[in-house]
Structure 1
Amino acid sequence: MLKPNHPFALRLPVVAAPMFLVSGPELVTAACRAGIIGAFPTPNARPIETLDDWMRQITENLARAREEQPGVTIGPWCANLVTHSSNTRLHEDLALVAKYKPPIVVTALGSPKPAIEVVHEYGGIVVADIINLKLAGKAIEAGVDGLACICAGAGGHTGSLNPFSFVSAVREDFDGLVIVGGGISDGWGVAGALASGADLVYMGTRFIPTLESMAAQEYKQMLIDSTSDDLLVSAALTGAPASWLKPSLRSRGLDPDNLPVTKPERNYDSNIAPTAKRWRDVWGAGQGVGAVKAVESVQTVVKRLDDEYRQALQRMAAITVPGSGTAANPGALDKSPRKLQEVHS
């Protein structure tokens, strides 16, 4: 078994990715209780008093879960900080990070430096969101513990690099924690990501239509009804390339084939609510949207992912001769489609 490059006890090497206006304390807690990492962006909690309340809820609920179920794997939680200069609340966010001590802090849209000293002081780790090698180099120079490679296929603000080539390139210069995200929606993809050199997988779209997410029911249903053909990557709405659901654009009177060319000014101020419906009422998704079939609990989703992941590991073991890296008996492999079968751990 590949030894993960992180200190966390996890059921599955997956992060329920931080999603704007979707991830909240209920989703984070449910993800951690299911044995994966639960994350949320701090701008979801406005005003600052709400963020204080969310962090208190998460820490208390997870402490209670560990007391009530001492033999069950409870994953760590993660706060996602916007370190862009327009976020005037950053110092207040960092004060709450120091107070509640999330084991993982992911920084986005700016330098990770403001978070590193605070988080390292209490023994946490800092991961920087990156979309290219230039940003990776800057984050490594700043002293981050990990990199979250946002690749082509990711939902929301997305990257453009292939996940396999991105992880391979990052690994040439970095031996820390590597998270990869971009269109990975099942346990087979998780196994593939780890085989490529990643330690953890970001999975966002898969967790939007869960009972515990803050997404509107209409949003959840749209994901169930959509495939990757229903996606459009555009910077027209937020100023940065993002992956949008075409049906959502149409429902708000926007033509996916004729979006504005002028990019709006970016603003990530956590003190204010979104000033336009483009943030709140136009919905995004990643290329793994086709895996969404129903609204389910986080626990149910993670159980399915875990089963698929174990199937993938078994398949790898079945086709590889120990020590040789060659196929053992390719002709004996089951060539049927990937249908979920009962897997005993």
Structure 2
Amino acid sequence: MGPQLTEILDIKYPIIMAPMFLVSNVAMVKEAMEEGIAGCIPALNYRTLPELQEAIKELKVAKPQGGSFGFNLIVNKSNVKYKEQLALLCEEGCDFIITSLGSPEETIREAHKYGIKVFCDVTDLAYAKKVTELGADAVIAVNNQAGGHRGEMSPEQLIKEIKANCNIPVISAGGVGTKAHVDEMFKYGAAGVSVGSPFIASQEAGVTQEYKQACVDYGKKDIVMTEKISGTPCTVINTPYVQKIGTKATWLETVLNKNKKLKKWVKMLRFYLGMKATENAALKATYKTVWVAGPSIEYTHEILPVKNIVRRLTR
């Protein structure tokens, strides 16, 4: 059976509130911990190191008995702040780090010196095997129901394949909007779940009312993949604006992405511009809205406090 997420993080329910770019914040994670689940915030949600440090300190003070919080690190070259963010997380302390987009080798090595657990985003078995060898404490298996950058495989297929070939707990990410979905992932062999999109329409989320309302008004059938945000396909709500600009990369973007010399720079530029566009959509009410979300917004019927959303997933 292996250890369950409740044991690994010493929490009541085997759920992590997933780190969401620009959405996740301290207020949401405090509520999540109070309700007996873990919470995670992307380190990149903080512009500066002092701001990140402030968030860690605040969460440490607010952490209840049996609470757990972590941060998400982009561990590839597009994140120029990665090394200093990692050093700060180790110095200040948190319960876990989730790594994305790159090799987690250094993060695992450094975090383990401080007793911090490391979970790694994976979308296939080959990568799951790699991070298992590097000593990851668990994998976050990102399936084809996830919001944002998602995998290709169904939850069942991905969980079962990793379980059969790696001796490491599998935390399933994607496609969870109700308690029945949580139970389903356990049936497939998951040790826990990571849930993001249902929390966008929470009162504590720091995004615009329009973004939250879109998660209420739109559903599963309105989620489309776009290459416009970061060059890598990403799931967004199919608003009139998204329909207008289209979801495919332009011919120029395609040519530049194929050019070996320029590719790295184009990727960094796309990443930067994509983050800017997402930031404007999330934090400013404009008609130019590209809102990232996954199909599990199907179960979002109103904007609620985080605690009510946790209860929907646990009771």
Range class of TM-score, shorter chain: 0.7 to 0.9
Please state whether the residue corresponding to 2:167 is helix, strand or coil: coil
2:120 to 128, 133, 142: 128
Find the counterpart in structure 1 of residue 4 from structure 2. Answer: 4
Q: Within the alignment, does 1:28 sit opposite 2:29 as a pair?
A: yes
**Equivalences for 1:322-333 in 2 at 5 Å?**
none
Counterparts in 2 of 1:115 and 1:259: CA distance versus 1, 3 Å: closer
- C-alpha displacement of 1:215: 1.9
Compute the displacement of 1:268 (Å). Answer: 9.2
Partner SS, residue 198 of structure 2: helix
Shift of 1:42: 0.3
Displacement of 1:269: 11
Structure 2 CA distance for aligned equivalents of residues 8 and 185 of structure 1: 22
Conservation of the 8 A alpha-carbon contact between 2:9 and 2:95: no
SS of alignment partner, residue 165 of structure 2: coil
Shift of 1:75: 2.7
* Alpha-carbon offset, residue 141 of structure 1: 2.0
SS in 2 for 1:75: coil
Residue 298 (structure 1) aligned to one of 285, 295, 306: 306
Tell me how far apart the structure 2 counterparts of residues 245 and 188 of structure 1 sit (CA, whole Å): 24
Aligned to 1:54: 55
Aligned to 2:277: 277
Q: Within the alignment, does 1:17 sit opposite 2:7 as a pair?
A: no
> Do the aligned residues in 1 keep the contact of 2:229 with 2:275 (CA within 8 Å)?
no
Q: CA deviation at 1:163?
A: 0.8
- Amino acid across the alignment from 1:222: A
C-alpha change, 1:230 and 1:279, in structure 2 (3 Å) is same
Counterparts in 2 of 1:276 and 1:257: CA distance versus 1, 3 Å? closer
Q: Deviations over 1:225-256 (max 9, x none)?
A: 00111111122321112111011xx3368344
Report percent identity of matched pairs.
Answer: 27
Q: CA deviation at 1:300?
A: 1.1
- Distance in 2 (alpha carbons) for counterparts of 1:21 and 1:266: 20
Alignment partners' CA distance in 2, 1:230 and 1:140: 36
Question: Whose helix proportion is higher, 1 or 2?
Answer: 2
RMSD (CA atoms) = 2.4
Runs of 4+ off more than 3 Å: 251-270, 272-276
The structure number with the bigger radius of gyration is 1
Q: Deviations over 1:242-292 (max 9, x none)?
A: 111011xx336834466636357433999x896642554111111111100
Summarize the alignment of residues 101-120 of structure 1 with structure 2, pairs less than 5 Å apart.
101-120=93-112
Residues 221 and 215 (structure 1 numbering): CA distance in 2 closer, same or farther, change over 3 Å?
same
Alpha-carbon distance in structure 1 between the residues aligned to 2:15 and 2:305: 16
Determine the C-alpha separation between the residues in 2 that align with 1:145 and 1:209.
Answer: 30
- Counterpart in the other structure of 1:312: none
Deviations 1:164-196, CA, capped at 9 Å, x for gaps: 010111012222221111111111000110111
Matched, 1:286 2:276: no
- 1:39 alignment counterpart: 40
Distance change in 2, residues 1:279/1:101 (3 Å) = same
Letter in 2 for 1:106: I
Note if 1:177 corresponds to 2:172. Answer: no
CA distance in 2, matches of 1:238, 1:254: 18
Instruction: Return the letter of the residue paired with 1:284.
Output: V
**Is residue 247 of structure 2 the alignment partner of residue 254 of structure 1?**
no
Q: Which residue of 1 aligns with 2:286?
A: none
CA contact (8 A) 1:153 1:183 kept: yes
The change in CA–CA distance for 1:275 and 1:189 in structure 2 (over 3 A counts) is: closer
- 2:287 aligns with none
Contact 2:229–2:274 (8 Å) recurs in 1: no
8 Å contact kept, 1:21–1:280: no
Report the CA distance shift for 1:179/1:280 in structure 2 as closer, same or farther (over 3 A): farther
Residue-by-residue CA offset, 1:77-114 (whole Å, 9 max, x unaligned): 01101101222211110111112221111100011112
User: Does the aligned pair in 2 maintain the 1:59–1:100 contact within 8 Å?
Assistant: no
For structure 2, the residue ranges without an aligned partner over 5 or more in a row are 258-265, 282-289
Give SS of 1:185's match.
coil
Retained in 2: the 8 A contact 1:80–1:107?
yes
Q: TM-score, structure 2 length as denominator?
A: 0.86
Deviation at 1:39, TM superposition (A): 0.4
Cα distance in 2 between the residues matched to 1:133 and 1:237: 26
Residue 137 of structure 2 corresponds to 145
